[in-house]
């Protein structure tokens, strides 16, 4: 589906835009990172910017674990509460996703993204329960923090400090902005970050 859409759009635009300008743009949209961005955008539209279905798709200990609505660990990663929430997360996803995908490939990037988001979400729910906080979490920032953890761990264990850290430092700014906003789930940010770092250590550098 994505390939056919890209090819059709490419053929139309190539009549007006030189290939040396068009090719880099379209090559980036063929990446797993941009596929994830596209899915998040579609979910944002379908939920009317997070104004509907947030309670049904968000994640909390009460709903996801106690009531065994396990699907919430997945759906919560693609629901955003407003355009600014989406914009911050997608800008950070593009930077971090491209770094991980370039270093490990598309499949590994998806595994890191989904794995850190899901495991980090479960751990965050348990910690929230221990703190007697039954908040409902939404957004891709947990999985994105997991990608940051992958890059930081890979950089430190593999090549020492490098330019990757600079990119992560830039990409973490939107997450910090979200972190200081009202209702932000910083616990999930930290659990997903360390999950991503541990996944990198055990899956890549074991």
Model confidence, pTM: 0.84
Instruction: Dump pLDDT digits (tens) for 3-23.
Output: 676 677 768 777 777 776 666
Per-residue confidence band for 159, with pLDDT thresholds at 50, 70 and 90 = low
Judge contact between 137 and 171, C-beta under 8 A. no
Per-residue confidence band for 184, with pLDDT thresholds at 50, 70 and 90 = confident
Kindly name the residue from 116, 137, 141, 192 that is annotated as catalytic: 141
**Locate tokens 């200990």: which residue?**
61
Separation between Cα atoms, residue 68 and residue 50, nearest integer Å: 23
Q: Once rounded to an integer, what is the mean pLDDT over residues 172-194? A: 79
Backbone angles phi, psi at 8, to 5 degrees: -65, -45
Q: Once rounded to an integer, what is the mean pLDDT over residues 53-73? A: 89
Kindly name the residue from 76, 92, 189, 192 that is annotated as catalytic: 189
Q: Once rounded to an integer, what is the mean pLDDT over residues 97-108? A: 92
The reply to whether 80 belongs to the active site is no
pLDDT surpassing 70 at residue 161: no
> Mean pLDDT, the chain, as a whole number?
84
Instruction: Dump pLDDT digits (tens) for 103-147.
Output: 899 999 999 999 999 999 999 999 999 988 878 889 999 999 999
Separation between Cα atoms, residue 182 and residue 102, nearest integer Å: 34
* Ranges 1-10, 155-164, 191-200, most confident: 191-200
The reply to whether 28 belongs to the active site is no
- Share above pLDDT 70 across residues of the chain, in percent, rounded to a whole number: 81
pLDDT of residue 121: 94
**Locate tokens 């593009």: which residue?**
94
- Supply the CATH classification number for the domain 32-203: 1.20.1540.10
Euclidean distance between the first and final Cα of the chain, in Å? 37
Instruction: Dump pLDDT digits (tens) for 38-49.
Output: 999 999 999 988
pLDDT surpassing 80 at residue 64: yes
pLDDT of residue 3: 65
pLDDT of residue 73: 95
Domain boundaries, the chain: 1-30, 32-203
């Amino acid at each position: 589906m994505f390939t056919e859409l890209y090819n059709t759009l490419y053929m139309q635009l190539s009549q007006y835009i030189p290939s040396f300008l068009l090719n880099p743009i379209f090559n980036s949209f063929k990446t797993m990172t941009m596929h994830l961005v596209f899915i998040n955008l579609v979910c944002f539209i379908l939920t009317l910017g997070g104004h509907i279905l947030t309670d049904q798709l968000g994640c909390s200990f009460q709903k996801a674990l106690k009531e065994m609505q396990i699907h919430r660990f997945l759906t919560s990663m693609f629901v955003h509460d407003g355009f600014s929430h989406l914009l911050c997360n997608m800008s950070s996803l593009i930077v971090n996703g491209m770094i991980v995908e370039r270093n490990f490939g598309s499949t590994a990037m998806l595994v890191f993204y989904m794995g850190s988001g899901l495991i980090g979400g479960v751990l965050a729910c348990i910690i929230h329960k221990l703190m007697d906080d039954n908040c409902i979490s939404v957004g891709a920032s947990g999985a994105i923090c997991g990608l940051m953890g992958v890059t930081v761990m890979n950089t430190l264990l593999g090549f020492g400090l490098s330019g990757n850290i600079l990119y992560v430092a830039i990409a973490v700014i939107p997450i910090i902005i979200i972190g200081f906003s009202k209702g932000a789930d910083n616990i999930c940010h930290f659990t997903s970050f360390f999950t991503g770092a541990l996944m990198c250590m055990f899956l890549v550098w074991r």
